[in-house]
Amino acid sequence: MPKIKFNTSAKRSAAPAADTNTVFGKAFRQDGQCWIMPCDKERRPYLLGNVKNVHNNDLVEIEPESGSKTPKAQLIKNYGTFSMGLLNEILVTHKYKIPHTFDEHIVKECSSFPDFNDIRRTDLTALPFVTIDGDDSRDFDDAVYAKRTADGFELIVAIADVSFYVRSGSRLDAEAYKRGNSVYLPQQVIPMLPEILSNDLCSLNPKVRRPVIACFIKIDNAGNVKASRFERAVIKSAARLTYKEVEAAIHGDFSATIKKVFTIAVQPLYEAYFALDKARTKRGALNIETDEIKIKFSKNGEIAGIEKQQNLTANKLIEEFMVAANVAAAEFLSKFKNPVMYRIHDKPREEKLADIKPLLASLKLKLPPYPSLQPCHFNKILEICRKKGIGNGIDSLILRLQCQAQYSTHNCGHFGLHLKHYAHFTSPIRRYADLMVHRAIADACNFETAEKELISLSAAEQTAEHLCATERTAAAAERDITARYLSLYLNPLTGTEFELKISGLSNAGIFVRLSEIGAEGLIPMRTLPRDYYQLLDADSCLRGIETKLKFKLGDTVTAKLIEAEPVSGGLIFAWLPNKQNHFSASGKTRYSSKNKKTAKRSKCSKK
């Protein structure tokens, strides 16, 4: 490992306060001393001293010491040679504290489930339901069906009847509550429910009778919902289809599986989707484009490749069917007195919108008065910016303005979808909130085996807070571990030049995105030409006062990868000048009397 220089001069900020938690990191040796590169990329390396039983690339746990300018630490535990599998296990268990095993009591409960045929259910096995999921999906909790009617379509969204198996008060229910949701990591899925449920009894596998709660929805040709109802039913999926398979079929390329069901099952789904999409467009739901990536692994666990997920029409089809069922559930439950676990999304905070005004002014755009703000106003900005070629950066900026969606018993609607009522109903295998909605529907519809006593308002509010917390933890773990795999994948390419999109600007430097694989990195201020730099137009532009160099949100820049560290997930690039960016760097920074004062006040000056 190359030598690392540590600046402990007085000009740097004071040493950080004493750490209260242990730190995990990878060991490396330099000048006879053992140093630890922390897994947290915000931390500096720690000096462990001349410890003989720690070797290069060992993964260790340390306890930081206080009272020294150079961060020092004591060894707690050596886990052995670093590997991504070992790091994942430690992050999941220690950093994020995600439960990932089921105890023997839960396993025992799962050996004696009742027979779903013991209660009254509507028999829908004659209808050609299909599941449409990703290539490597293993749990199929939703199946869909559509048919034309005289004035539109009848849709049926069938969702696995998890509440029949997971009863309130059971150990299984307590464990599902504690987990809150399944966690999807690049090389591992940590399920909310044991596999006998998630991959078998509650998975709507093809050609097998499965219990469901079915949402019947009638829509007109413009996609407007005219009526909906819920029934406990049993279905038999006609086929397990993939998004790519369905997308290919709509363009005339039929697989052997889809050919058998295309006319009776897939074509009506597409026709119904186009009606729903009309309603979505008219409603003005927020239209932010985000990239999702898929990391593929070989049989021996090596990264085989990384691909950006395509947002196919087939994906949108399922999304719109699920949204329609979620709305139906929320609207139905809102008519009763019992607490409802809504999925809410408030409008952006008024004070945050002030941050974007300079940018909008530079584009000769503006938002309406706050009380009138709707998603369509952001869509208009996005549309204009995409035409100007800066859509990627503006997508990120507008996304950061939004409030975080959350669970709540107090309904304020869903701003992003532009809906008055919304709840999560369609994924009870992987989200506890959906399981609660299923139980509430079973009670409201007087289904057999409905819960005798539903959750109180105060308990529901506490549950909402808990589920928001477990959701944030899962998202952070997925983001964190994915970043490490991306760094591992790019590590052999250190020294390579890349074309990158600017996704953000700050005092730290230029945040960039490698669009092909969705990797995020930083061009630190120290790699830019020597100058004083100013953030302008709501932090959408970084300008050098002396060099006149400008970096704008959404711009493409050329940079060299200088660091890709899997242990922390960090990617560091060095900016490279190109033909579009001419500058002079004389080694001395000069200012005119006109700009000297401004430069000294700059939030992100660089000497």
**Tens digits of per-residue pLDDT, 83-96?**
999 999 999 998 89
Q: Which of 39-53, 333-347, 362-376 is least confident?
A: 39-53
50, 82, 114 - which closes a domain: 82
Q: Tell me whether residue 91 is in a domain.
A: no
Whether residue 146 has pLDDT greater than 90: yes
486, 510, 538 - which closes a domain: 486
Let me know whether 116 and 31 are in one domain: no
Let me know whether 150 and 256 are in one domain: yes
Q: Tell me whether residue 92 is in a domain.
A: no
Q: Tell me whether residue 95 is in a domain.
A: no
Whether residue 352 has pLDDT greater than 60: yes
Q: Tell me whether residue 607 is in a domain.
A: no
Burial class for 51, CB neighbours closer than 10 Å (0-12, 13-18, 19+):
middle
3-state secondary structure at position 146: strand
Let me know whether 196 and 272 are in one domain: yes
Q: Whole-angstrom Cα distance, residue 19 to residue 64?
A: 6
Report pLDDT for 64: 92
First to last CA, the chain: 28
Let me know whether 283 and 414 are in one domain: yes
Q: Tell me whether residue 359 is in a domain.
A: no
Domain count, the chain: 3
- Among all chains, which residue has been given the structure tokens 């949701």? 181
Q: Which of 114-123, 413-422, 486-495, 520-529 is least confident?
A: 114-123
CATH no. for residue 547? 2.40.50.140
Report pLDDT for 390: 67
Report pLDDT for 590: 29
Burial class for 368, CB neighbours closer than 10 Å (0-12, 13-18, 19+):
exposed
Let me know whether 174 and 289 are in one domain: yes
Contact 142, 212 (CB under 8 A): no
Let me know whether 597 and 449 are in one domain: no
Indicate the pLDDT class of residue 7, thresholds 50, 70 and 90. Answer: very low
Let me know whether 304 and 416 are in one domain: yes
Quote the DSSP letter at residue 262. Answer: I
Q: Which of 81-85, 148-152, 218-222 is least confident?
A: 81-85
Q: Tell me whether residue 5 is in a domain.
A: no
For 82, the token pair is 């670093």
Q: Whole-angstrom Cα distance, residue 23 to residue 37?
A: 10
For 385, the token pair is 């910016």
463, 486, 509 - which closes a domain: 486
For 404, the token pair is 């975080």
Indicate the pLDDT class of residue 487, thresholds 50, 70 and 90. Answer: very high
Mean pLDDT of 324-347: 97
Q: Tell me whether residue 358 is in a domain.
A: no
Strands 122-123 vs 225-236: parallel, antiparallel or unpaired: parallel
Report pLDDT for 408: 98
Which segments of 493-555 are extended strands (E)? 497-506, 509-514, 519-524, 533-536, 541-544, 550-552
Let me know whether 318 and 222 are in one domain: yes
Report pLDDT for 248: 96
Let me know whether 469 and 511 are in one domain: no
Let me know whether 163 and 181 are in one domain: yes
Let me know whether 424 and 463 are in one domain: yes
Question: Per residue in 18-41, pLDDT tens?
Answer: 344 789 999 999 988 999 999 988
Whether residue 13 has pLDDT greater than 60: no
Task: Write out the residue range of the structural domain in which residue 508 sits.
Answer: 494-601
Q: Which residue has the higher pLDDT, 232 or 598?
A: 232
Contact 390, 362 (CB under 8 A): no
Report pLDDT for 391: 63
Whether residue 598 has pLDDT greater than 50: no
Q: Which of 106-115, 201-210, 331-340, 596-605 is least confident?
A: 596-605
Q: Whole-angstrom Cα distance, residue 50 to residue 70?
A: 15
Which segments of 264-341 are extended strands (E)? 293-297, 303-308
Mean pLDDT of 367-380: 94
Report pLDDT for 597: 33
Let me know whether 407 and 543 are in one domain: no
Quote the DSSP letter at residue 62. Answer: E
Above pLDDT 70, what percent of the chain?
90
Q: Tell me whether residue 18 is in a domain.
A: no
Q: What is the mean pLDDT of the chain?
A: 88
Question: Per residue in 543-555, pLDDT tens?
Answer: 999 999 999 888 8
Burial class for 374, CB neighbours closer than 10 Å (0-12, 13-18, 19+):
middle
Contact 135, 123 (CB under 8 A): no
Q: Which of 65-74, 177-186, 253-262, 417-426 is least confident?
A: 65-74
